């Protein structure tokens, strides 16, 4: 049975580290399909810098040439605070016979016990965890967890936003299409 992946996040902006994680997981675990899901209203870090429609559009242009990737607005359609367990429920309805995998960085995985219904989420998904610099992973035994084999990348959306405010180049950190989108819409500029 082939698996379906879910990779959610703020993607504020989507960067080469996100793409590397997606590519590594798709190759290593032979995912049939990968859903990229920009969070609509994050519960843990409530503020995003760019509006949802911009973050969705950046994900769409970043993954435009990836045939097994679907960039989804499922969390916007549902509205309200975005909870991964609810997004997984929706994917389960779409793919009732497939194993669902949740792609996540080790730094985020360290916080997963604070998410909505973590014990139920642990029963619903297999975690595919990417290494992050400075993160060590200690999960409860109920999590079915596998490590994504990839080199940790020292790229952060926060640093990209700061580089834009400072007028420094970002082309090595994001795809050309994302850099062009950011420039065209004047995102992350100082007010």
In a domain, 167, yes or no: no
What's the pLDDT tens digit per position in 149-165? 998 888 999 999 999 99
Residue 31 lies in a domain: yes
User: Does residue 65 lie within any of the structural domains?
Assistant: yes
- 185 in a structural domain: no
Question: Looking at residue 42, what is its pLDDT?
Answer: 84
164 within domain boundaries: no
Q: Is residue 67 domain-resident?
A: yes
- Give the model's pLDDT for residue 52: 95
Bridge partners of 146, per DSSP, are 128
1 vs 113: CA distance, rounded Å: 28
CA 78 → CA 8, 40, 43, 159, distances in Å?
Answer: 15, 9, 14, 30
Q: Mean pLDDT, to the nearest integer, of 87-101?
A: 96
pLDDT at 135: 67
In degrees, rounded to 5, the angle at the alpha carbon of residue 147 between the alpha carbons of residues 142 and 149 is 175
Residue 90 has pLDDT above 80, yes or no: yes
User: Residue 46 has what pLDDT?
Assistant: 62
- Total structural domains within the chain: 1
Percent above pLDDT 90 for the chain: 77
Long-range contacts at 53-57 (CB < 8 A, ≥ 24 apart) = 54/181, 54/185, 54/187, 55/10, 55/11, 55/12, 55/13, 55/14, 57/181
Find the radius of gyration of the CA atoms of the chain: 16
Indicate whether 190 belongs to any domain.
Answer: no
Q: Average pLDDT in the 163-181 region?
A: 96
pLDDT for position 134: 67
- The pLDDT assigned to 56 comes to 98
**Given a cut of 90, is residue 181 above it in pLDDT?**
yes
pLDDT in tens, 10-60: 999 999 999 999 999 999 999 999 999 999 988 876 677 899 999 999 999
What pLDDT does residue 45 have? 66
Domain annotation covers residue 76: yes
Range of 147's domain? Answer: 3-156
* Average pLDDT in the chain: 92
**DSSP notation for the chain:** --EEEEEEE--TT--HHHHHHHHHHHHHHT-SEEEEEE-SS-SSS---SS-HHHHHHHHHHHTTT-TTEEE--HHHHH-SS--HHHHHHHHHHH-TTSEEEEEEEHHHHTTGGGSSSHHHHHHH-EEEEE--TT------TT-EEEE---------HHHHHHHHHHT---TTTS-HHHHHHHHHTTTT---
**CATH code of the domain containing 118:** 3.40.50.620
pLDDT-derived band at 128 (thresholds 50, 70, 90) equals: very high
């Amino acid at each position: 049975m082939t698996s379906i992946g879910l990779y959610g996040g703020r993607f504020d902006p989507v960067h080469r580290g996100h793409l590397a994680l997606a590519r590594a997981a798709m190759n290593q675990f032979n995912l049939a399909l990968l859903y990229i899901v920009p969070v609509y209203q994050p519960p843990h870090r409530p503020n995003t810098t760019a509006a949802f429609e911009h973050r969705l559009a950046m994900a769409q242009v970043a993954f435009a040439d990836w045939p097994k990737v679907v960039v989804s607005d499922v969390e916007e359609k549902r509205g309200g605070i975005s909870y991964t367990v609810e997004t997984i429920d929706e994917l389960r309805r779409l793919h009732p016979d497939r194993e669902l995998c949740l792609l996540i960085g080790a730094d985020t995985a360290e916080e997963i016990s604070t998410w909505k219904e973590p014990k139920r989420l642990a029963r619903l998904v297999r975690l595919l965890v990417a290494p992050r610099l400075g993160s060590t992973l200690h999960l409860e035994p109920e999590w079915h967890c596998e490590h994504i084999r990839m080199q940790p990348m020292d790229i952060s959306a926060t640093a990209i936003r700061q580089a834009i405010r400072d007028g420094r180049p970002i082309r090595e950190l994001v795809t050309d299409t994302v850099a062009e989108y950011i420039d065209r819409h004047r995102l992350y500029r100082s007010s």
